[in-house]
Amino acid sequence: MWQAVFVRDALMREHPDLNVELVGITTEGDRTLDVPLASKGGKGLFLKELEQALLEHRIDLAVHSMKDVTVTEPEGLHIPVICERENPCDALVSPRYADLQNLPAGAVVGTCSLRRQAVLRHRFPDLEVENLRGNVNRRLARLDAGDFDAIILAAAGLVRLQMQERIRQVIAPEVMLPAVGQGAVGVQCRLDDDETTRLLSPLDHESTHRRVRAERAVNAELGGGCHVPIGAYAEIQGEQLRLRGLVGRPDGSEVLFASTEGQLSDPEAIGCALAEDLLSQGAQTILQSVADG
């Protein structure tokens, strides 16, 4: 809902005479709190009801966290706008410990992300990593109740909810690569709705859009959904785009890393090149084993 308000306010700043109505829709992802998302079909569970509402003309646009958006979109829909990115990194939240390196052996860390689980178990094998679902408030409540010594959340979500004081450590990409599209908000509408696309166009942030295009190209080339342990992070340096990526087993026994860079003008080509590097290292075997459960 924060994201929807953010987009509404941005639209009304650009078009003061525009009337924007917010329509709250509860998705399957919101309702599925008792089991890991991967076992129910992945983060695409946050999209289905919104996309159906678009296709049925019940709404004119849908606002998504780009890390939840599947590789392929339903026919007739597109995401013409990606807003300026908030901090894309993961964040450590803990009442006792200031950073990951200070967590003692046996400390219990909660996260629902297979990517985070893979990196935590690979880099910090002495930690106990357990699944944690629910919205931010629910996860913080379980931390405060003593169920975990620390939890990992997206820094962007905490900042947007004005809970940045809960962040003990912003985890550098060198330690934990962010998820594809993490921290970026995308706006989806019908492909044939030229008027809505026109109204939305001033909200697009070009450099964020290029970065997310590169990251999503990695996921697409790997054939990964949103629930597999894939990380990708793009940065712009002048006219060059630098891209890093990983694929890992959730148990941390194997994590593959790759990096590449190329011309900013063709982010998809850079993403495909990085994916090919990961595939040459054996990424497909890892992804297949995760898909097979």
Tens of pLDDT along 166-212? 999 999 999 999 999 999 999 999 999 999 999 999 999 999 999 99
- Among 17, 30, 60, 68, the one annotated catalytic: 68
3-state secondary structure of 49: helix
For tokens 């599925």, the residue is 32
Determine the pLDDT at residue 185: 97
Determine the pLDDT at residue 46: 56
The contacts of residue 102 (CB under 8 Å, 6+ apart) are none
* Residue ranges covered by each domain of the chain: 1-83+184-204, 90-171, 205-293
| Average pLDDT of span 120-138 | 94
Tokens at residue 55, please?
């296709």
CATH architecture observed for domain 205-293: 2-Layer Sandwich (3.30)
Rounded to 10 degrees, the C-alpha dihedral 132/138/140/146 comes to: -70
Q: How far is CA 225 from CA 33, 104, 229, 263, in A?
A: 19, 33, 9, 26
Contact 66, 150 (CB under 8 A): no
- Which tops the pLDDT comparison, 41 or 131? 131
Mode of pairing for the β-strands spanning 240-248 and 90-93: unpaired
Determine the pLDDT at residue 205: 98
Task: Place 28 in a pLDDT band, splitting at 50, 70 and 90.
Answer: low
Q: 246: part of which helix (H) or strand (E)? A: strand 240-248
CA distance 178 to 154: 9
Q: Please tell me the pTM assigned to this model.
A: 0.90
68 is known as an active-site residue = yes
Topology adopted by domain 1-83+184-204: D-Maltodextrin-Binding Protein; domain 2 (3.40.190)
CA distance 232 to 246: 7
Within 1-112, where are the H helices? Answer: 2-14, 28-31, 48-55
Determine the pLDDT at residue 198: 97
Contact 130, 109 (CB under 8 A): yes
- Which tops the pLDDT comparison, 226 or 39? 226
Contact 67, 182 (CB under 8 A): yes
Topology adopted by domain 90-171: D-Maltodextrin-Binding Protein; domain 2 (3.40.190)
Determine the pLDDT at residue 34: 47
Name which of 33-42, 119-128, 271-280 the model is least confident about.
Answer: 33-42
Tokens at residue 207, please?
């450099």
Task: Place 146 in a pLDDT band, splitting at 50, 70 and 90.
Answer: very high
Same topology for domains 90-171 and 205-293, yes or no? no
On average, the pLDDT of the chain sits at 91
Determine the pLDDT at residue 49: 86
- Which tops the pLDDT comparison, 82 or 227? 82
pLDDT above 80 (res 30): no
Determine the pLDDT at residue 70: 86
